[in-house]
Structures are given as structure tokens and as C-alpha cells.
């Protein structure tokens, strides 16, 4: 199974995201494709699976961004699953984005007349934290913990 990926590049100094205009293709083996199909309907579980998968991080470091040590990116699109709203949400964003984030962050609005800008600001406050969780730092080497909790570094080439 082949997936199309699009990414955004995080500028840490400005705390902004810029789209990477390229589309990247990743071939999944049968086991990875099976996991993808199980998770594709739960977008953040899918995102976390990719973010935590060694095969995915190695692909990013070795094939997608091989010469970009220190680059921080985030997934913006996987096939037809979009994460763009996490990086480009504005108070003026559409109702579908408001409803998504109100449910995700358990934001309760008391009435239909409540000021949309108040809800938008609350969503933005939650997104400050969530965006940091979604950033993939390509300069970091993964660290595994053994059962005895002694750290062991993997030798991932960057």
C-alpha cells in the first residue's frame, strides 16, 4: 500500500508553520497497511502511530529530509486525511473546525449566542499545547527504555 504525505515545516523562532509544497510517497508493508487501515478513521491515533513508528521516522530522516538536521516538521496530510486545521486554525475558521476542536478539547459553549471569538480563543489556547505534541523533531534520536529503565540510544543516522 502506498500513501501520499504532505508536511508543514515548523519555524521555532516565529512559532509558525509553512507548507512543504512537495508530495512524498511511502510504501507500507502488509502489517503496516493493516495498522493504517485500523487507525485511519481516528485521525490523532493515526498521527501518533506514525509519529512513534521507527520505520516512519527513519523514512523521514533518510529519504524525505536527509540533509536537514534540526528541522522540525509536522504531518499536514496523509492521503485524504488532513491535519492542516491544527497548524492553520484561526478565529475566522469554518464551523466544521470549531465543532471538531470543541469536541476534541471538551469545550462547552453555554448557548448559541455565545461569542464565537471566545470559543476561538479557547481553541487557540489548547492548540498551543497540541501543536507542540504534533511536531516531529528530525534531529532527535529515539531513546528506548529497557525493562530495568536504563536508557539505550539507538543509532539512527540523521
pTM above 0.85, yes or no: no
pLDDT for 142 equals 43
How far apart are alpha carbons 87 and 136 in whole angstroms? 13
> Tens-digit pLDDT profile for the chain (158 aa)?
999 999 999 998 898 999 999 999 999 999 999 999 999 999 999 999 999 999 999 999 999 999 877 789 999 999 999 999 999 999 889 889 999 999 999 998 766 655 788 889 999 999 999 999 999 998 865 433 323 333 333 333 33
Placement of cell 498551543 in the chain: 128
CA distance 24 to 7: 9
Cα–Cα dist 5/22, whole Å: 9
The whole-number pLDDT of residue 118 equals: 86
Beta bridge partners, 7, equal 75
Q: What is the DSSP string of the chain?
A: -EEEEEEEEEETTTTEEEE----EEEE--HHHHHHHHHHTTSHHHHHHHHHH-HHHHHHIIIIISTT-TT-EEEEEEETTEE-HHHHH--TT--HHHHHHHHHHTT---S-TTS-HHHHHHHHHHHHHHHHHHH-EETTPPPEEE-TT--EEE-----
pLDDT per position as a tens digit, 36-66? 999 999 999 999 999 999 999 999 999 999 9
What does the pLDDT read at residue 158? 31
Tell me how far apart the alpha carbons of residues 55 and 53 are, in angstroms, rounded to a whole number. 5
pLDDT at 115: 74
Looking at residue 68, what is its pLDDT? 74
| Per-residue model confidence (pLDDT) at position 77 | 97
Residue 152's pLDDT is 35
At residue 149, the pLDDT reads: 39
Amino acid at each position: 500500500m502506498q500513501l501520499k504525505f504532505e508536511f508543514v515545516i515548523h519555524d521555532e523562532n516565529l512559532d509558525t508553520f509553512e507548507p512543504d509544497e512537495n508530495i512524498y510517497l511511502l510504501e507500507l508493508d502488509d502489517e503496516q497497511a493493516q495498522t493504517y487501515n485500523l487507525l485511519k478513521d481516528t485521525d490523532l491515533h493515526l498521527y501518533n502511530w506514525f509519529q512513534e513508528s521507527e520505520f516512519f521516522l527513519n523514512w523521514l530522516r533518510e529519504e524525505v529530509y536527509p540533509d536537514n538536521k534540526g528541522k522540525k516538521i509536522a504531518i499536514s496530510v496523509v492521503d485524504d486525511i488532513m491535519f492542516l486545521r491544527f497548524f492553520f486554525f484561526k478565529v475566522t475558521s469554518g464551523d466544521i473546525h470549531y465543532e471538531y476542536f470543541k469536541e476534541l478539547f471538551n469545550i462547552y459553549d453555554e448557548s448559541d449566542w455565545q461569542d464565537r471569538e471566545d470559543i476561538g480563543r479557547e481553541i487557540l489556547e489548547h492548540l498551543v499545547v497540541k501543536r507542540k505534541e504534533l511536531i516531529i523533531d528530525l534531529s532527535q534520536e529515539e531513546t528506548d527504555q529497557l525493562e530495568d529503565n536504563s536508557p539505550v540510544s539507538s543509532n539512527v543516522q540523521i
